[in-house]
Amino acid sequence: MLARSHAYDAPVLTGGWRGRALVLVLCVLVAGCAQRPDAAAAVTLVFKHAKILGPSDPVPALLREFERRHPGVRVQAESLSWNSDDQHQFFVINLEGRGAAFDVMMLDVVWVAEFARAGWLLDLSPWVTRAELEPHFPSTIAPATWNGRVWAMPWLMNVGILYYRADLLGKYGLTPPRTWEALVDQVVRVRAAERNPRLDGVLWQGRQYEGLTVNALEAIWANGGRMFGADGTVFPEEERAAGGLAFLRALIVSGVSPSWVTAADEELSRRHFGDGRAIFLRNWPYAMDLFQAAGSPVRGRVGMAPLPGRVGGAVSAASSGGAHLGVNRRTRHPELAVALVRFLAEAEAQKTMTVGGALNPTRMALYHDRDVVRVHPDFPLVHDLMLRARPRPVTPAYLMLSTTLQPEFSAALVGVKSPRQAIEHARLRLSYLLEGLR
Amino acid sequence: MTVRRLDDARTARVLLAPALLALAVLAAWPGLWVLWLSLQRRIPVFGIERFVGPAHYAFLAEDPRFWNAVQVTLIFTFVSVSLEFLLGLGVALGLQGQRRGRRLAVALLLLPWALPSVVTGRMFEWLYHPSAGLLNYVLGGEAINWLGEPTLALPALIAADVWRTMPFVALLCYARVLTIPPEIYEAARVDGAGAVATVRDVTLPLLRRVLLIALLFRTLDALRAFDLMFVLTGGGPANTTETLTVYAYRSLFQTLQLGFGAAIGVAVFALVMVVAWGYLKAIVHEEGATA
CATH of the domain at B113: 1.10.3720.10
Task: Confirm whether B285 is domain-assigned.
Answer: no
Contact A118 B45 (CB under 8 A): yes
Residues of B contacting chain A (CB within 8 angstroms):
41, 43-48, 65, 129-132, 143, 145-150, 153, 233-240, 242, 250, 253-257
Domain range for A45? 15-158+321-388
Cα separation of B286 and B13, whole Å? 27
| Number of structural domains in chain B | 1
Q: What is the pLDDT of residues A165-221, one digit of tens each?
A: 999 999 999 999 999 999 999 999 999 999 998 899 999 999 999 999 999 999 999
| Cα nearest neighbour of A85 on chain B | B254
R_g (Cα) of chain A, nearest Å: 23
Question: Across the interface, which of B143, B236, B240 has its CB nearest the CB of A207?
Answer: B236
In chain A, which stretches have pLDDT less than 70?
A: 1-41, 54-55, 438
Contact A89 B235 (CB under 8 A): no
Q: How far is B60 from chain A (nearest CA, A)?
A: 13
Per-residue pLDDT of chain B (291 residues; tens, 9 = 90+): 566 777 888 898 899 999 999 988 888 899 999 999 999 999 888 888 999 999 999 999 998 999 999 999 999 999 999 999 999 999 999 998 887 888 899 999 999 999 998 899 989 999 998 878 899 999 987 888 999 999 999 999 999 999 999 999 999 999 999 999 989 989 998 998 888 898 888 889 999 989 999 999 999 999 999 999 998 998 989 999 999 999 999 999 888 889 999 999 999 999 999 999 999 999 888 877 765
Contact B255 A399 (CB under 8 A): yes
pLDDT score of A27: 45
Contact B255 A89 (CB under 8 A): no
pLDDT score of A126: 96
Q: What is the pLDDT of residues B112-129, one digit of tens each?
A: 999 998 899 989 999 998
CA distances from A398 to A113, A227, B72, B260 (A): 8, 11, 27, 18
Cα separation of B135 and A389, whole Å? 39
| Neighbour count for residue A391 (Cβ, 10 Å) | 19
Contact B46 A117 (CB under 8 A): yes
CA distances from B201 to A171, B85, B184, B198 (A): 74, 18, 11, 5
A91 chain-B contacts, CB cut-off 8 A: none
B145 chain-A contacts, CB cut-off 8 A: 258-260, 262-263
| Neighbour count for residue A341 (Cβ, 10 Å) | 25
Cα separation of A227 and A217, whole Å? 7
Task: Confirm whether A247 is domain-assigned.
Answer: yes
Task: Confirm whether B124 is domain-assigned.
Answer: yes
Q: How far is B210 from chain A (nearest CA, A)?
A: 38
Look at the pTM and tell me if it is higher than 0.90: no
R_g (Cα) of chain B, nearest Å: 24
| Cα nearest neighbour of B237 on chain A | A410
Task: Confirm whether A10 is domain-assigned.
Answer: no
| Number of structural domains in chain A | 2
pLDDT score of A438: 66
What is the sign of the dihedral through the CA atoms of B15, B18, B22 and B24?
A: positive
Cα separation of A62 and A345, whole Å? 11
A174 secondary structure, DSSP code: -
Domain range for B172? 69-241
Task: Confirm whether A3 is domain-assigned.
Answer: no
Contact A207 B239 (CB under 8 A): no
pLDDT score of A436: 72
My answer on whether A236 and A350 are in the same domain is no
B148 chain-A contacts, CB cut-off 8 A: 206-207, 259-264, 414
What is the sign of the dihedral through the CA atoms of A41, A47, A48 and A54?
A: negative
pLDDT score of B169: 94
Cα angle A412, A418, A420 (rounded to 5 degrees) comes to 100
pLDDT score of A115: 96
Q: How far is A334 from chain B (nearest CA, A)?
A: 22
Q: What is the pLDDT of residues B219-258, one digit of tens each?
A: 999 999 999 999 899 898 999 999 999 999 999 988 888 9
Is A158:A320 a contact under the CB 8 Å cutoff? yes
Contact A208 B238 (CB under 8 A): yes
My answer on whether A262 and A141 are in the same domain is no
Task: Confirm whether A2 is domain-assigned.
Answer: no
Q: What is the CATH number of the domain that holds A21?
A: 3.40.190.10
pLDDT score of B153: 96
pLDDT score of B3: 64
